[in-house]
Amino acid sequence: MSLPPLSFKAAVVGAGPAGLFAAEILARAGVAVTVYDRMPSVGRKFLMAGRGGLNLTHSEDLGRFLTRYAEAEPVLKPLIEAFRPEDLRSWCEGLGQDTFVGSSGRVFPKAFKASPLLRAWLARLEGLTVRFALRHTWRGWDSGGALLFTGPTGETVSAAPDATILALGGASWPRLGSDGSWTGILEGKGIPVAPLRPANMGFTLSWSEVMRSRFEGEPLKRIALSFEGVTVRGEAIVTADGLEGGAVYALSGRLREAIAREGRATVRLDLRPDLPLEALTQRLSAPRKGQSASTFLRKAAGLSPVGIALLRESTPRLPDAPEALARLIKAVPLTLTGTKSLERAISTAGGIPFAEVDEHLMLRRLPGVFVAGEMLDWEAPTGGYLLQATFATGLAAARGVLARFRIPDAALTWAPSSATRHL
């Protein structure tokens, strides 16, 4: 089948980054694109992600970058190689939003938020005549294969595009648009879906009343967490019922699976990862000179009040021997008993197995229907890896549509230019 541009119609269901990027690629090839979303405005989770600084991608070596996708690396590798971190930066800069590399290697827009980027992006899509149908909730297909939606006033709306890209997201932060309701629709079509589970989320702990009342919200800076032979440096935050933060999120997949198997998981917290055991032991061997234990630990070991509280939380009595105390400081045991809810997780694990889609991300059981973003079964830590793969899968799905219907791909370049129409 070969349809000329403009006579070919595509529907993109979901107005997050994957869907919007797919719509852009299709529109640049001359395809008439309509983007459907159940929310009254687009990119709501994208905007929330930018509230604390929009982490677009990461500047590390691509080989190391790809390892962050764990089991999904083999299938995501060619997709990310086709749209690399430097391509995402160039695309962003092409929208007038310069980027910079932070001290951690993470990449951010200089505006440090998502709203200017999204405004520029929507202006570009409008110039490409992408149409938006908001407040349209997808309900599946009718008996003739047309897409069905519930419209803004409760009416049934149907659409019969030549191709469809589903980019409905996972199920984290459902109030922002992605509620995971699509799982039942696809399962009804015989497509298996791995259960949606929280990813990049916090964990619950049974804190003492003292820990809850005095240290809720306190940050743990420059720490390291270890579990199953993997150690991650970063930061964390004490919550009323557990721990959250970047170092926790980086281990969240392993911890989640361990808790599912055994009902709990014990991580080791190094409060001074920058200080070798021998050096810390030597510091703790100094005379106390009448200092209280808290004062001594603060001065000799450089521990914060919340770090000292965690030591006390882990044992009824702190060791007297300097080496034993140093070992505890560098490996405080914390037993996690559960995960925070999927609704408050940063991202979602589970979804459509890659075995259910072809190399162009088309569903094998539903020809002409493609999938992008978090609907697919992959996960990654925070640090820019989530958005990078989201954009890459959006591009792959759009190019899959073009390839299937033999529509010439637009001559895309990611380098910024002064021209109004560029990518």
Residue 421 has pLDDT above 50, yes or no: no
pLDDT of 422 reads 38
Does 417 reside within a domain? no
Q: Which residues constitute the domain of residue 33?
A: 9-198+344-404
Are 184 and 329 within one domain?
Answer: no
Are 144 and 285 within one domain?
Answer: no
Does 141 reside within a domain? yes
**Pseudo-torsion of CA 4, 7, 13, 18, nearest 10°?**
40
Average pLDDT over residues 355-376: 98
Are 217 and 332 within one domain?
Answer: yes
Does 381 reside within a domain? yes
pLDDT of 423 reads 43
Are 137 and 191 within one domain?
Answer: yes
Banded pLDDT at 6 (limits 50, 70, 90):
low
Domain count, the chain: 2
Average pLDDT over residues 8-17: 97
Residue 174 has pLDDT above 80, yes or no: yes
Query: Which residue is it, tokens 């964990």?
Result: 203
Are 236 and 262 within one domain?
Answer: yes
pLDDT: is 416 or 159 the higher one? 159
Average pLDDT over residues 204-213: 94
Does 415 reside within a domain? no
* pLDDT tens sequence across 304-345: 999 999 999 999 899 999 999 999 999 999 999 999 999 989
Average pLDDT over residues 183-195: 98
Are 225 and 329 within one domain?
Answer: yes
Domain boundary among 339, 360, 381: 339
Are 60 and 83 within one domain?
Answer: yes
pLDDT: is 356 or 49 the higher one? 356
Are 138 and 255 within one domain?
Answer: no
Q: How many helices (H) and strands (E) does the chain have?
A: 15, 20
pLDDT of 5 reads 59
The predicted model scores a pTM of 0.92
Banded pLDDT at 142 (limits 50, 70, 90):
very high
pLDDT of 415 reads 59
Query: What helix, strand, coil percent values describe the chain, rounded to 5?
Result: 35, 25, 40
CATH number at residue 16: 3.50.50.60
pLDDT of 128 reads 95
Does 422 reside within a domain? no
Query: Which residue is it, tokens 């979303």?
Result: 37
* pLDDT tens sequence across 51-81: 778 999 999 999 999 999 999 999 999 999 9
* pLDDT tens sequence across 251-307: 999 999 999 999 999 999 999 999 999 999 999 999 988 899 999 999 999 999 999
Does 36 reside within a domain? yes
Domain boundary among 339, 371, 390: 339
Are 262 and 377 within one domain?
Answer: no
pLDDT of 2 reads 56
Q: Which of 166, 186, 181 is nearest to 35 (CA)?
A: 166
Are 26 and 146 within one domain?
Answer: yes
Q: 108 near 102, Cβ under 8 Å?
A: yes
pLDDT of 419 reads 38
Does 37 reside within a domain? yes
Average pLDDT over residues 410-414: 74
Q: 380 near 389, Cβ under 8 Å?
A: yes
Mean pLDDT, the chain, whole residue set: 94
Are 141 and 22 within one domain?
Answer: yes
Residues of the chain with pLDDT > 90, as a percent, come to 91
What backbone torsions phi and psi does residue 242 show, to the nearest 5 degrees? 165, -140
Average pLDDT over residues 123-141: 97
Q: How far apart (Å, rounded) are the C-alpha atoms in residues 336 and 227?
A: 11
Does 3 reside within a domain? no
Map residue 90 onto helix, strand or coil.
helix
Domain boundary among 301, 316, 339: 339
